[in-house]
Amino acid sequence: MLAKPSGFEHVLVLGCGHMGGALVSRWGEACSTASYDSGSVASRLPKLFSIVDRSPNAPFGTASLLPPRFQAYASLEDFVQSEPPKVDALLLAVRPQQILAALSSVFASERAFMLPSATIMSLAAGLPLPRLRASLTSASPLFRVMPSIPVAIGEGILLISSDGEKKAATDNTPFMLVRELFAPMGRSVFCSDELLDKGTGLWGSAPGYLFQMIEALAASACALGYDAEQARILAFQTFKGVGIFADKQYAEKQLSPEQLVASIALSGGTTEAGLRVLRDKDSGLVPLMRKAGELAYQRAQKMAQEMEKK
């Protein structure tokens, strides 16, 4: 007998662009798990994902490649006309400027396809929970989710905030259902809405910062005489290996980032000499990363102000 999923039953995804597509692709991969035994990844995911986007098949290529439990629609009207089962989770993955209009369309539909208790999740940067809550006509559980792009391979991070009460981990609460839904994506951290906004400029943009560091390492290698392909291999593998090594060192020895640095920066050695530049209190990595995060946060705030005017 097939095990009944313990989480959401039917997730409606509005928007399947850059980040929405990454999430949908990962769910599709997780749902392709052959085993449906109790406790498997596939058994804990929703029975049905409905994707509404003008190019709904983009993550999978063509409709014929849609995994089981996935349906694609070119418009919300097409979705409604198909008379789908009731939706108990809505993921808003459209552009931030389109979020409020999308919510309005969902609740303005003549056919009530959302359960009254349906959980609503938004990926929109710069659109805080109070503004989202004000646009709702129900007391639906409301969440904001900030994923990083490695969610596409199950190695991302997700900041999650809510205006609801967080209960014990053993309770079958919206918090636990949301955590379960995003479990195949990587690691999630629940935080305040303010920290999510601030973290957008740090953690959400971090892949771009790290790609820039990879580029800088490769460029430095080329300047030393390595060819472009050698530089690429060395830079990519260095970042991959360091991430895995750091995670393992923390799991086994609880080494902090500071302790990891100290473990290889031997006194009088080459690493220590290079770190003098990166540790400079005025021009080193810490002030640069702080400035980058602050500028990105300011941009998120400006986006929110622009949406308020509209």
| Tokens found for residue 125 | 């940067």
The radius of gyration of the chain's CA atoms, rounded to the nearest angstrom, is 22
Q: Give the whole-angstrom CA distance, residue 128 versus residue 144.
A: 8
Within the chain, all domains assigned CATH 3.40.50.720 are found at 10-194
Indicate if the pLDDT at residue 8 is higher than 90: yes
Q: 93-136 pLDDT, tens per residue?
A: 998 888 888 888 888 876 789 998 899 999 998 888 999 999 88
Q: 20-73 pLDDT, tens per residue?
A: 999 998 998 888 765 555 556 777 889 999 999 987 556 666 555 677 789 999
157 beta partners: 187
Q: 269-288 pLDDT, tens per residue?
A: 888 888 888 888 888 888 88
Q: Give the whole-angstrom CA distance, residue 133 versus residue 11.
A: 20
Tell how strand 156-162 and strand 186-190 pair up: parallel
**Class (C level, CATH) for 10-194:** alpha beta
Of residues 267 and 234, more confidently modeled: 234
pTM > 0.85: no
**Class (C level, CATH) for 206-305:** mainly alpha
Q: Where residue 308 falls among pLDDT bands split at 50, 70, 90?
A: low
Geometric angle at alpha carbon 56, from 5 and 74, rounded to 5°: 110
Indicate if the pLDDT at residue 83 is higher than 50: yes
90 beta partners: 12, 120
pLDDT at res. 307: 63
Within the chain, all domains assigned CATH 1.10.3730.10 are found at 206-305
